[in-house]
Structure 1
């Protein structure tokens, strides 16, 4: 990995952009295009970004594609159930083997995230142009580098507690909303040899993926969850008696 560009695949179901003109106007290159642009903006020559969408064969996530991906970002909302189980199995295996995963916004209900969390991943929500403040609770974490405290998002969908996820390995951001709700909006989880970063800001009805600070967090997150060695599934190993003598 040292000296090589970080290989990121940005996955987006790309349903809203192809069926809702106002979303297509907001994201003319799709949300995946905006997310990809943000990665290049902040990581520059240190990243190689490609995109994949639901409509592609195998959703663009073939075995070969995932094997050559260091970090996968995931955005889904309207078509979670259309993601093939064999692709979910494949993504899970690659995460357990060390591929990094960044799950964004409504990807919390994706098959991939639910599988890795082992919970429903449900939450409270309201779509009413709420202001969101994203507060840093772990300023020493590399994902927070260059990020203001708080990030101010003028209009956004509200996500609130209770968020049915396992206790995060690291809680990095919490959000507060104009209705008084709070939400664990930036969390990390270790699964096998891989790392998952969940970051909630970013709905199709708001230009959040054009927000410079949101783009910075996603870029920082992608860099941080990247594999740190050779990728392989954890192994069951039998030690013979007397191995320590």
Structure 2
């Protein structure tokens, strides 16, 4: 069992009828349901849950893997909370930023780049290719799978070279995109997964759900490694 915290901005669902129709209880509720069915210990938090956005130190300390969905209010996330999240990831907490969380403060901080990309929102077909089938996040997936309607993200994606590129997307309009990127930062594992525009039922898709389930399992900490820094005594006679 993995202790999972799903953080969702939860603004679109409350402010737009077209999004509320797809995700009446929020994107986080849909993800929480299928992860709960896997037997994980799941909690959800949202941007407007107090000045710490529901990500108190106690919550972070009790989280093995943090999922993050944000879009319209990245700048409203407290820098103090971002510091806390970064510190926890470097110490071993897993991090799974979804879709437009490529522009989230924690992801940009961890990547050290602008994380910019091309985009177009016309509801076109997306085909995701599994380009690293031996990676744990690709477990149980076919060679490729399709989403009938999604927002297009296109290269160049301004991120560091991933440690492993697991999925690559092709879009009906012709663009391609690195849509499943695995990283290590400190002791923590990070998996960015591209699909998930708020007006489409992407998180109800079985293949998308399988990817997220796999990402949670892969990103979960394997154990804490004791490290020593600073001034030390010699281990041999001098």
Common topology (TM > 0.5): yes
**Unaligned regions of 5+ residues in structure 2, if any?**
none
Structure 2 residue aligned with 1:141: 135
2: distance between equivalents of 1:10 and 1:231?
26
Change in Cα spacing, 1:30 to 1:244, as seen in structure 2 (3 Å) is farther
CA shift for structure 1 position 194: 0.4
1: CA distance, partners of 2:18 / 2:228: 49
Deviation at 1:180, TM superposition (A): 1.0
Are 2:200 and 1:206 aligned? yes
User: Contact 1:99–1:231 at 8 Å: present in 2 too?
Assistant: no
CA deviation map 1:135-168 (0-9, x unaligned): 0011111111111221210000001100000000
In structure 2, the residue matched to 1:18 is: 14
State the match for 1:39 in structure 2. Answer: 35
Question: What are the within-5 Å matches in structure 2 for residues 109-188 of structure 1?
Answer: 109-188=103-182
**Rounded Cα–Cα distance in structure 2 between residues aligned with 1:163 and 1:98:** 26
* Partners of 2:231 and 2:140 in 1: CA distance: 46
Q: How many residues align?
A: 237
2:99 paired residue among 83, 98, 105: 105
Q: 1:243 Cα deviation (Å)?
A: 3.9
The aligned counterpart of 1:224 is 218
The answer to whether the 8 Å contact 1:38/1:216 transfers is: no
Residue aligned with 1:139, SS: coil
In structure 2, the CA distance between the partners of 1:243 and 1:160, relative to structure 1 (3 Å rule), is farther
C-alpha deviation, 1:37, in angstroms: 1.5
- Aligned counterpart in structure 1 of residue 4 of structure 2, from 3, 8, 12: 8
Structure 1 residue 56 corresponds to structure 2 residue 49: yes
SS in 1 for 2:53: helix
Structure 1: 5+ residue stretches without partners: none
Distance 2:123 2:162 in 1: 28
Q: 2:88 aligned to 91, 94, 97, which one? A: 94
What is the rounded CA distance, in whole Å, between the counterparts of 2:183 and 2:219 in structure 1?
10
| TM-score normalised to structure 1 length | 0.93
How well do the aligned residues superpose, as a CA RMSD in angstroms?
1.6
Deviation at 1:244, TM superposition (A): 9.6
